[in-house]
Structure 1
Amino acid sequence: MSCLRVMVVHRASRMMLGNPQSSSKTKSLSYHVMLEKGLIHPAGRGLFSILPLVVFYISGKFFGQRVIDKLVRLIEEELNAIGAFKMCMPSLGAKELWRNVGRWDKIGAEIFRVTDREGKEFCLQPTAEEMITQIAAQRGLRRRTMFPFMIYQTTPKFRDEMNPRFGLLRSREFLMNDLYSFDISEEDALKTYRIVSQAYNHILQDTLQFEVHVVRADNGQIGGAVSHEYHLPSTSGEDSIVYCEKCSKGINAELARRHEKPCSECTEECLKVIPSVEIAHTFQLGDLFSKSLGARYQNVAMVMNCYGLGIGRIMAAAIDVLSPDQNSLRLPDAICPFKMAIIPPADSSKIDPELASYAISLAQQLDSTTNLHNEVFYDDRTDYSIGKRLLLATQLGIPHIAVVGSRVANLFGCRPMVEYFTVKSHQADPIEVGILSHKELFELVEYM
């Protein structure tokens, strides 16, 4: 039996859009924009609710958290493509498990600890190396064909930040995609590390089109031999990297404070300090966890790597880097809230009623296309002028806008026409492309 696709045209009048009473005083552009445009709502110090951006109910599902959902989907599709499996582990980690590798006592006040009614201690896990290694040890990876074994989850994590600020850039609860890999030799583990690193580069550089710097970093409390951080240059970032323009290598600020250099040939003249936001981190762990927890293949400790992508941080950093001002939301096209906005005539305009009927019909036809299904924003708040709705769609960062208004009314008798605008990163105003016919608009849609 064939499955009919449900038409989804998102009407602005049904949405939780923006917060006109927002009066946040913050230096962080992304924090201000996310509050102003209704992406997040503060729930306490360093805690935030991720708002739907669109309230729409159909077939038993809410289509909410659009930006986060799109970002998670494209990350998980990339990880699935390299052979990783998705799972979900508990947020609570037992003290006994964490003590096996010594992390319970190493991690200080930034970890949330809880005690149950029987007096047993747990932590809200910021990462899950112990738990996934225990699973690998107890369930066993018995076949050679199972390697490299890669498994990931996308779940909330927790950190008792001393100074939570800048919204999702430094919060006490955050969404993270964490992946763990197991191999039977150091050589194989290095190959897997490169495969996942290539997937990260494809996500961040090719799909999201970020200018990412991958730099050498300290392994910190997680341990292991080698680690790399992924940084997005940003003037509002709390992090920084030292980058060599000569060898194109870099190190994080912590290594720089130890007077390390990107490479042995680097001199002060070729080094550049770049303010940034860390959005991902990868680690080569060796057998640190597998030896302690008994994860073995043919009696040899497995070799592990771990990898993490900060979902909320990626979104916030993108807004910081791409948005032109505090009134405008800009995101990569792959994760923008909607791809196309349709603006019908205003109530106050004395235009042929057929034009208004055409506008909703156009939205439905666009939704029926492969590229724009579930991506059409229909601003039916016709008590607002066309100019105001064009401004609001621009501020929401919708990259393509079609206006059905007075400028095309005189042409409508001959053939359906729309005014077409585009919205770009770093630019506050919409770019007027011109008047397009119905056919020309749909030809353009094929390339979106």
Structure 2
Amino acid sequence: MNKASRLFCPALITPKNAVVKQSEQLSRSQKLLTELGLVKSGSNGTYQIMPVAQRSVDKLIDLVQRNMQQAGGQKITLPILTPTGLWKKTGRLEGDISEFYMVRDRSGKQFLMSPTHEEAVTAMLATTSPISYRQLPLRLYQIGPKFRDELKTRFGLMRAKEFLMKDMYSFDVSEETARETYSTVSAAYDRLFKQLEVPFVKVNAATGIMGGSVSHEYHYVSPVGEDTLLQCSSCGYAGNSEVLEGQTVSPASCPSCKSLDLREVRGVEVAHTFLLGDKYSKPLGATFLNTSGKPQPLVMGCYGIGITRIIAASLEVLSTEQELHWPRLLAPYDVCLIGPKQGSKEQPAAELIENELLLNVGELCGHQELLHDDRKELTIGKRLLEAKRLGHPLTIVVGAKAVQQDSPKLEVHLSKGEKLELDLSEALKLVSEHSQYKNSLLNGSFHRDEEESRSQSVGHQL
């Protein structure tokens, strides 16, 4: 069982009247995560993730993997170090590589600390014994650290020099089947972002340094976003302003329906998909044997999700200035149980109820999803304040009202600030309903459809 007294959660204590010098720009999520001891700064642009936040990261990884496997993905692990010679073959070494880390081994050979792995995975297939068309499509993904020498790190995990990312690479026999793969993986992305229940927008995007013919970005709308998005209120079309300004149609009108009702919002990019064609397979010699037994270049796609960026950006969108609010599937714990204070007159009777709850709540939501705040030397009020700031979906308090003779009640606090007074069976029913709703999200039963989610997201922020 998870006990609050055993948690390593090094909260940031700032003395009263202290003058705090900020080395970088803070966002709401970064401030809360740091103050509450969920994330610590390692150095400029790098972050140490503490146990409570790591639970959220692990839950997101599990959710991403579930969706990637449903899309036919197979998990691999590629080396972080990629020989620069591969990037030279594809021409990307001649582009703007100022954000990339380069290292040399003792023999002088140069490597990239990979910001992405298109060259590496394509070279892997190029050196594999002949691949038959019968083995395709092939969808390979990994989850691991990526590196970018950001000129200006800010907003904590949203713009860091080292970050956690899921990257998938697909290989097909033709442009047609590659587009089918693109649709399949895009549908998995849409499903993932609906499961997270954070309003998002999916926009047409520039292919940039990655290349290819088709590209889409997934954004959370937030004032701290670095991308400017244009959203049409008439038809729901959304696009990155860079793309719209590069087209013949004036960005003052919607490219889809020609409506003039375009609104400008800021977006945090949390995922990106590309249809790459043979941009990498041709120069690196990655081929398959077609039905005639002749070698033919593989047709590729790539699909990225910022794991740590989603954590930070979702908290940025959902939280208040004082309290974290997590996506339901990513909350570190489902339930926090707070028992009576040590030495209080209600302690003996209340602890009987507390122990019964520990057993029953754990069985309903899973014992690993229950946090027992056993620090009874602290007042209920102090523990409750901390629980609210940490954003637990349900916090159950076993206090004086739980042992009153006429109508014993438990205090149940919801993450959005609502307070309920329930008897034992009602509280357990609420826990059960919460767990059932989580399962419905995992199984693909969503509260609202995608278009409604997108339109509400932009409308809510404007």
Superposition TM-score, scaled by structure 1 size = 0.89
One-letter amino acid matched to 1:21 = I
One-letter amino acid matched to 2:187 = Q
**Higher percent of residues as helix:** 2
- Deviation for aligned residue 1:419: 2.3
Question: SS of 1:221's equivalent?
Answer: helix
Query: What CA deviation, in whole Å up to 9, does each residue of 1:250-294 have, x standing for no partner?
Result: 221322443564854555731111111110011000011111112
Distance between the aligned counterparts of 2:130 and 2:330, measured in 1? 36
Distance between the aligned counterparts of 2:432 and 2:118, measured in 1? 44
The residue aligned with 2:420 is 433
- Deviation for aligned residue 1:50: 1.1
Contact 2:172-2:178 at 8 Å conserved across structures: yes
Q: Quick one: structure 1 residues 42 and 27, their matched pair in 2 at CA, closer, same or farther if it must change by over 3 Å?
A: closer
Q: Quick one: structure 1 residues 440 and 224, their matched pair in 2 at CA, closer, same or farther if it must change by over 3 Å?
A: same
Match of 1:315 among 311, 316, 319: 311
The residue aligned with 2:155 is 166
Distance between the aligned counterparts of 1:17 and 1:171, measured in 2? 22
Distance between the aligned counterparts of 1:133 and 1:263, measured in 2? 37
The residue aligned with 2:449 is none
1:442 paired with 2:441, answer no
Match of 1:120 among 106, 109, 116: 109
Deviates more, 1:102-111 or 1:139-148: 139-148
Deviates more, 1:152-161 or 1:12-21: 12-21
Match of 1:421 among 387, 393, 413: 413
Deviates more, 1:251-260 or 1:86-95: 251-260
- Deviation for aligned residue 1:417: 5.2
Distance between the aligned counterparts of 1:362 and 1:183, measured in 2? 53
Match of 1:329 among 305, 319, 324: 324
One-letter amino acid matched to 1:346 = K
One-letter amino acid matched to 2:168 = L
The residue aligned with 2:438 is none
The residue aligned with 2:450 is none
One-letter amino acid matched to 1:383 = E
Q: Quick one: structure 1 residues 176 and 352, their matched pair in 2 at CA, closer, same or farther if it must change by over 3 Å?
A: closer
The residue aligned with 1:38 is 37
One-letter amino acid matched to 1:373 = H
Q: Quick one: structure 1 residues 201 and 405, their matched pair in 2 at CA, closer, same or farther if it must change by over 3 Å?
A: same
Q: Quick one: structure 1 residues 137 and 410, their matched pair in 2 at CA, closer, same or farther if it must change by over 3 Å?
A: same
The residue aligned with 2:233 is 245
- Deviation for aligned residue 1:107: 3.4
The residue aligned with 1:380 is 374
One-letter amino acid matched to 1:322 = L
Distance between the aligned counterparts of 1:196 and 1:141, measured in 2? 26
- Deviation for aligned residue 1:119: 0.7
The runs of 5 or more residues in structure 2 that have no matched partner are 15-19, 290-294, 435-462
The residue aligned with 2:282 is 291
CA RMSD across the alignment:
2.0
Contact 1:229-1:278 at 8 Å conserved across structures: yes
Q: Quick one: structure 1 residues 295 and 420, their matched pair in 2 at CA, closer, same or farther if it must change by over 3 Å?
A: same
Match of 2:301 among 301, 305, 317: 305
Question: SS of 1:314's equivalent?
Answer: helix
Query: What CA deviation, in whole Å up to 9, does each residue of 1:404-423 have, x standing for no partner?
Result: 11011124xx8985322212
Matched length: 419
The residue aligned with 1:61 is none
Query: What CA deviation, in whole Å up to 9, does each residue of 1:343-370 have, x standing for no partner?
Result: 100014111514224313422332233x
Question: SS of 1:251's equivalent?
Answer: strand
Q: Quick one: structure 1 residues 141 and 243, their matched pair in 2 at CA, closer, same or farther if it must change by over 3 Å?
A: farther
Question: SS of 1:368's equivalent?
Answer: helix
Question: SS of 2:210's equivalent?
Answer: coil
Query: What CA deviation, in whole Å up to 9, does each residue of 1:412-445 have, x standing for no partner?
Result: xx89853222122xxxxx31122222x3333333
The residue aligned with 1:254 is 242
Contact 1:345-1:355 at 8 Å conserved across structures: yes
Contact 1:215-1:252 at 8 Å conserved across structures: yes
The residue aligned with 2:387 is 393
The runs of 5 or more residues in structure 1 that have no matched partner are 1-8, 54-63, 425-429
Deviates more, 1:153-162 or 1:236-245: 236-245
Distance between the aligned counterparts of 1:434 and 1:442, measured in 2? 12
- Deviation for aligned residue 1:393: 0.8
